[in-house]
Amino acid sequence: MRHQLDELDNKYKEDVRELRESLRMSEQREAFYRAALEDRLQIVAEHIHKSLTEWANAELEEGQITQRKRGRPRKTFK
């Protein structure tokens, strides 16, 4: 009976060790994925910022081209 108890205790300790190792590997994998995701999000954010800035500048330029600099607005014929 003592022998069986020792075997079960050893099996329990081995299972706990394997689970801890598995947890450690999962945490390392999560840290790697998190770092990769942060890098990718930074790239996407920079692209969105650049696109919106270029679009806004183009809109401003177009608005300045169509805007009259002085005087009353032109009369349009209907």
* Measured distance CA(38)–CA(72) in Å, rounded: 53
Which tens digit of pLDDT belongs to each residue from 51-61?
Answer: 999 999 988 88
CA dihedral of 30, 31, 37, 41, whole degrees rounded to 10: 140
CA dihedral of 33, 34, 37, 43, whole degrees rounded to 10: -130
Q: What length does the chain have?
A: 78
- Whole-model pTM? 0.53
> Domain extents for the chain?
1-52
Residue 67's pLDDT band, with cuts at 50, 70 and 90, is low
